[in-house]
Each structure stands twice: as structure tokens, then as C-alpha cells.
Amino acid sequence: MKNVFILFLIFIFTSVQAQKNKFNLLIGTYTNSCESKGIYTYDFDTNTGGFNLKSATENIVNPSYLTVSKNNNYVYSVNENGPESMVSSFGYNPSSGKLSLINKQSSKGADPCYIINDDKNVIVANYSGGNIAVFGKNSDGSIAEAKQVIQHYGKGVNAQRQESPHVHMVHFSPDRKFILSNDLGNDKVYSYQYNPNATNEILKIKDSISVKSGSGPRHLTFSNDGKFVYLLQELDGALTVFSYSNGILKKIEETTILAKDFKGTFSSADIHISPDGKFLYATNRGEANSISIFKILKNGKLLSKGQRSTLGKGPRNFAIDPTGKFLLVAHQYSNDVVVFKRNVTSGALTDTGKRITLCSPVCLVFTKI
């Protein structure tokens, strides 16, 4: 009897440990280029890099970017669909992975490409609309009507890509007092003071900074200590380092994600820092299809550790699992997610051989189960 009890305890302990190593992986897709149901939920094992499909939505149009509520009960997505673009809210059951549509609102601008949320608001960057829209949240997780729309103005020197403002991102500062926004169309990064409880002026302009003409700022990320901001420019491959304090950016260094001998077409995409804050990664599309690796130095500057192939076409988005052991790259054009093992000491990436085959995956978000 005693042995049975010990075996039972071992079973319980093993089950708990196994659950600790599991996370949900939400994947947003484009649904107009191949057969996709919208948003997919997989469980992901951070011990092995293995995964299993848990659930998928039905008939959700182009949920190309996602954000999860702090309490893990709701998921918000853009529906990138030209002038008819929407923003959707879903009830989220982490255990089953199931998403249940609650409601939709007009995105208040064409082609939303980024979305964030907190307890009070859902905030969207509308790329073609060139604006930021702020929506309230109701107690049931649904999205209220837009409370504020901020229109950007201006254009850049690249006539094909910068004919008008193109808001590409909204990003909370670590203290949640500010929201930074990159505009690919006018080569600016805006800093807005964030007043979550205000009724209409939720965002107030604090500052803006211009970057190199024609560079096309796309995505940024903060250092783990919040003292530095790293900005990736889509059109020229530049990677700019800023010091950051109280909504103000000051440029301290600029490098590139391009290999020295690279001659082909490129299009910078996504940027993230490892959970331990020691390494920065950035993806590049076009003929490059690569990911660049940088070591972050104590002064915030970057030391290049080179590039490696992402082993697919169109590495639009990538995510590092919460333990830092794996880095997953979503390929928009080769229709797969490539799972890399990450060396936490050197930052190097090794192909695990594992692939999630999926129509046009473009957003990866890990959540707790």
C-alpha cells in the first residue's frame, strides 16, 4: 500500500512538472491566400519543442495580429481587410485552447497590423489608414466603440512605400505610462502619454523623433531594464539603438541586420529580445529570409553574432518561448513555422527539424495554459 501511495505521489509530481513545461501557442494567419480557419491554438512543450493542435476558430478573416488579456481570459485580434477591416474580441479557454467570438468593431482605419491591450483599452495601429485607434473594454471582454482616433500625416522619399503615413506598431513602455508608435510612411517614432482612464484623450503626444529618411521604421522593442529601445527599419535594414527615459528617445547607435556581402532584395520584419535580456534577434524577408543575432552589451549597444537562414520564405513574425529554450519563426509564404533550439549561452539557433505546417502564419503568441 505504501508503494502504491509513493507511486501516486510520483505521478502527481510528474504531471505537475509536465504542465509547467507546457504553454499554449496561438497562431494568427492570413485567410485569403490559402485555406485557413483563422486563429489556431497548439500546446507547446518547452522540454522537447514538440506541439499538438488543440483548437481552431472558424471563418475569422485575416487575424494577422493578436494580443492576450493579462488575466488570460480574452484574445483580441485585428481583421486585416482593407477598408472593411475590423477588430475582434474572443473568450479564451486556455485549458482547451478554444476561442469563442464575442464581438467586432470597425478598426477605424484600413489594414490594422498591430494590436495591444491592458485592463482598460484595446489599441490598434492601422497601417493603410495611417492612424491609431483606441477602444474601451467592457467587463465581459467585448470591445466598446472607439474612444479616440489619432491621424498621422506626412510621407517619405520612397514613392512606392511612403506615399502616406503607415502606422506599423503601438507598444507600451515598461511602466505603461507611454505608448510608442512607429510610422513607416513618414520615418518617425511617436511617443504618446497614456491616460488609460480618460474618456477621450487617452493618448496625448509627448514627443516624436525622425529617423533616417527612407528607412521605414517597422517594429521596436525595449531592453529588459527599460533603459534602451531597439528600432528595426523595414526599408533599409537599419537597427537603431536609443536610450529611453520618460517617453523620450535619444539615438546612441545604428547598425544593420544585413550581412556584409548581401546583395539581394530584403524587407526587415520582426524584432525580439531573449527572456534573459542578453540577446536580440531580428528577421529579414525578401531574398534574405534570415534572422540576425546580436549580443546586448552592458551599455545597451549591440554586438553582431551574424545571420542564419530561417529555412523558409517570408519570416514575418517570430517568438521565443517563455523559458528561452526555443525560437519559432512564422513563414508567411512557405506556410510553416520552423522550430529552432536556442543556445542560451551563445544565442545561436539550431534547427530541430520540427515544423508546424499551416496556411500563411504571421503572428505567434505564447500564453499560459
pLDDT tens, the chain, 369 aa long? 555 555 444 444 444 455 689 999 999 999 998 999 999 999 999 999 999 999 999 999 999 999 999 999 999 999 999 999 999 999 999 999 999 999 999 999 999 999 999 999 999 999 999 999 999 999 999 999 999 999 999 999 999 999 999 999 999 999 999 999 999 999 999 999 999 999 989 999 999 999 999 999 999 999 999 999 999 999 999 999 999 999 999 999 999 999 999 999 999 999 999 999 999 999 999 999 999 999 999 999 999 999 999 999 999 999 999 999 999 999 999 999 999 999 999 999 999 999 999 999 999 999 999
CATH code for the domain defined by 2-367: 2.130.10.10
Q: Give the pLDDT score at 9.
A: 45
The three-class DSSP label of residue 67 is strand
The three-class DSSP label of residue 83 is helix
Query: What residue has cell string 510612411?
Result: 185
DSSP 108: S
The three-class DSSP label of residue 195 is coil
Q: Give the pLDDT score at 18.
A: 53
Query: Cell numbers at residue 312, please?
Result: 523558409
CA–CA distance, 308 with 32 (Å, rounded to integer): 30
Measured in whole angstroms, how far is the alpha carbon of residue 162 from the centre of its chain?
22
CA–CA distance, 342 with 59 (Å, rounded to integer): 35
Sheet of 188-194: strand order equals 167-172, 178-183, 188-194, 203-210
Nearest of 152, 116, 156 to residue 135 by alpha carbon:
116
CA angle 169, 132, 36 (to 5 degrees): 60
CA–CA distance, 88 with 230 (Å, rounded to integer): 29
CA–CA distance, 6 with 109 (Å, rounded to integer): 61
Parallel, antiparallel or unpaired: strands 217-222 and 228-233: antiparallel
CA–CA distance, 307 with 262 (Å, rounded to integer): 11
State phi, psi for 6 to the nearest 5 degrees: -65, -45
Query: What residue has cell string 484623450?
Result: 201
Is the separation of the CB atoms in 81 and 60 below 8 Å? no
Q: What pTM was estimated for this model as a whole?
A: 0.94
CA–CA distance, 178 with 274 (Å, rounded to integer): 23
CA angle 271, 274, 277 (to 5 degrees): 110
Nearest of 112, 103, 153 to residue 134 by alpha carbon:
112
Return all residues near 276 (Cβ < 8 A) that are at least 6 apart: 224, 324, 344
Is the separation of the CB atoms in 167 and 152 below 8 Å? yes
| Structural domain spans, the chain | 2-367
Is the separation of the CB atoms in 174 and 118 below 8 Å? no
